[in-house]
Structure 1
Amino acid sequence: MTEKMLFGTYTKRVSKGIYQADFDEQTGEMSNVEAIAEIGSPTYLNVSDADVLYAVDKQDGQGGVAVYDYDSENAKTTLKQEVLADGASPAYVAVDENRQLLYTANYHKGTVEVYAIAADGKLTQTDAFQAVGSGPRPEQDGPHMHFANLTPDNRLVAVDLGSDKVYTFDVSEAGKLTEVAVFETEAGFGPRHIRFSQDGQKAYLLGELSSQLSELNYDATSGTFELAQTLSTKPDDWEAHNGAAAIYVSADNRFIYTSNRGHNSIAVFEVKANGAIDRRVQLISTEGDFPRDFALSPNERYLIATNQNTDNATVYQRDIVTGQLTLQEKDIQVPEPVRVVFVK
């Protein structure tokens, strides 16, 4: 079966904006990579169930979100709205289908913003949260929100790399935020992204600045987190720069995957039946430089990683029993790739 993929990119050198590709889940072959929207540095994007594409938008000193009608079968987009403000663009975009809300996390401004989604897909801002604080590392000169998405119990969790904090919010139907808990990591951890176990009792927090993965216990009653353990995403003898970037959990909750920018690899972790991380079982090269996002194919028999600085995507076969990856194809040309996502 052929699936559709989208790539969000930087547009600093050669990229035009958003790209689409075909992916054959039987063979693992990617083909027909083509630009479908010209837009400034759409580094993160998501598609709603109503086939509306929401993408980070940057132009002329302003940043925000672009809203497109999206026809995946014909590889076409139609711009319907741009929500822009002075300053930097967001780093993360997430859709809340139940409440018809959209969340953004803005790294440079240190904010989480909430938008109501109208019937036609257009956005109206309903609330914003301004984080405060800093950390011990040079990159932690102030709040740097890097992630905002739903918890399994339908709260909002937001991750602040700048102040080493993870915020939990209640969200009203009208799109208003109420802070309910704050978890603080070890100083300098630099949290970037967080994912949850299928039963919602565990969370897996990725530290960009520390190149570490923390296992957290999540209490849905209070919205609080508690540290269980922390593991490294890179080799112990790696002394050059590295920054962990993306994290995903397999559907059977048996494996966690993270990317390393610098070491340029995918780290694979095995997970016990109770959701606890057992150990790191593999480090495999991304066959390029500076991998940010990656994705598991819908059948999870393949993993696709992207390398921003070398303009390429890499396809791996995934063993669903061991969780480990085997290189299938490299050097698939995708300009300045950052975000990769399969279309539902």
Structure 2
Amino acid sequence: MKRIDLLLIIALLQTLSVQSQSYHLLIGTYTNPDKSQGIYSYNINLKTCAFTQQSDAKGISNPSFLALTPDKKYVYSVSENGDASSANAFQFDSKTGKLTFLNTYLTKGADPCYIATTPDHVFTANYSGGSVSVFGRKADGSLTDALQIIQHVGKSVNAERQGEPHVHQIIVSPDKKYTLVNDLGTDKVTVYAYNPLAKTDILTPVDTLNVKPGSGPRHSVFTKDGKRLYLVHEIDGTVSVLGMKNGKLKLLQETTLDRKAGTVNGAADIHLSPDEKYLYATNRGSADDITCFAVAADGKLRFKQQIPTGGKMPRNFAITPDGQYVFVGHQTTDNIVIFKRNIQTGLLRNTRKQIKVGSPVCLLFY
């Protein structure tokens, strides 16, 4: 009997080991007839190196960025397509990975490059339009027409990149009371109070932080308690640590991804590890690397590691929910490279395993 129990325990541990390396991934792309058809869902088993495409959602031009609702029932995507750009709603079956198109509305701001959602609304950050669009969410997950358009104004010091507003991201604070908008073109981070019951002024500005001129704020990530925010700047590779209290922002620290002589920066994405002990950020340009920082008790950063990402133009990346792996998507070389992550030290190691996908831009685990 004891031998049978032991064998059952061993079998259970082996099963859990396999499960711990099995993941489900949504991928938003730039569409190209020869490379990518749209949004992909993958089942990934790193134990067996089986990367199985479950489904793809075709018919949306450049669904470059995605948002998944917490209940995993709906997916929202941008369609980055100039003045014809739109926000799109899909019903999602997380068991099969199937996306069913619901509806679409124009963003009324060109080239949306980020999308976020709450139970009541969907927001897009419109890069070329320099604006934010706010859509309502219906009970069936479909979208209303845009309820609010917020147009940014201004410019900054980089004549080539910052001659007008370029809204690059909108994220929702953990307590759902605020949204934060990064404007690469004006070097500003604006906090908007979020009023989910409002009919018109759903977002109202409450604070604006002027960041370093010429830095180009791009992506940011909140800590789970909403007290700190980590912001990566595209143009010069700066990483800022910000404090937030009652909708007001305060700069706590600045460091950088730029650690090589002669590097052309193109910083892209930023994420905290699940335990919030480490921060990671990607840099494109001529760098094509990912940097790890240790996070101190006061939230400040200490450089740990910088390594090549194994491809060209590392855009979005995602950390597996268990913290074991980091998947980095490369827009130019059409691959997603998989890194093993040391949970104790935060350090990354390239596993040499990769998924071939055309122009991956956004990665979401589900």
Partner deviation per Cα, 1:138-182 (whole Å, 9 max, x = no partner): 111101111111123321111100000001011112351111000
1:104 touches 1:148 (CA, 8 Å); kept in 2? Answer: yes
1:305 touches 1:315 (CA, 8 Å); kept in 2? Answer: yes
Structure 1 unaligned residues grouped into runs of 5+: none
Give 1 or 2 for the bigger CA radius of gyration.
Answer: 2
1:186 to 187, 193, 212: 212
1:253 touches 1:275 (CA, 8 Å); kept in 2? Answer: no
Structure 1 residue 115, shift from structure 2 partner? 1.2
If the length of structure 1 is used for normalisation, what is the TM-score?
0.93
Query: Partner of 1:10 in structure 2?
Result: 30
Aligned counterparts of 2:276 and 2:48: Cα–Cα separation in 1: 22
Matched, 1:316 2:339: yes
1:198 touches 1:251 (CA, 8 Å); kept in 2? Answer: no
Matched AA of 1:168:
V
Percent identity, please: 34
Aligned counterparts of 1:194 and 1:153: Cα–Cα separation in 2: 16
Bigger CA drift: 154-163 or 52-61? Answer: 52-61
Matched, 1:23 2:47: no
Structure 1 residue 85, shift from structure 2 partner? 5.2
Higher helix content, 1 or 2: 2
What is the total number of aligned residue pairs between the two structures? 336
Aligned counterparts of 1:30 and 1:316: Cα–Cα separation in 2: 16
Higher strand content, 1 or 2: 1
2:329 touches 2:336 (CA, 8 Å); kept in 1? Answer: yes
Matched AA of 1:73:
K
Matched AA of 1:31:
F
Query: Partner of 2:8 in structure 1?
Result: none
Moved over 3 A (4+): 27-30, 58-61
Structure 1 residue 189, shift from structure 2 partner? 1.1
Partner deviation per Cα, 1:274-324 (whole Å, 9 max, x = no partner): 2111x2111111111000000000101110001110000111111111001
2:122 to 91, 96, 102: 102
Helix, strand or coil for the counterpart of 1:91? strand
Query: Partner of 2:96 in structure 1?
Result: 74
CA change 1:261–1:28 in 2 (3 A) is farther
1:43 to 48, 64, 69: 64
If the length of structure 2 is used for normalisation, what is the TM-score?
0.87
Structure 2 unaligned residues grouped into runs of 5+: 1-18
Give the CA RMSD over aligned residues: 1.8
1:28 touches 1:302 (CA, 8 Å); kept in 2? Answer: no
Partner deviation per Cα, 1:238-297 (whole Å, 9 max, x = no partner): x142210000011222100000112111100011012111x2111111111000000000
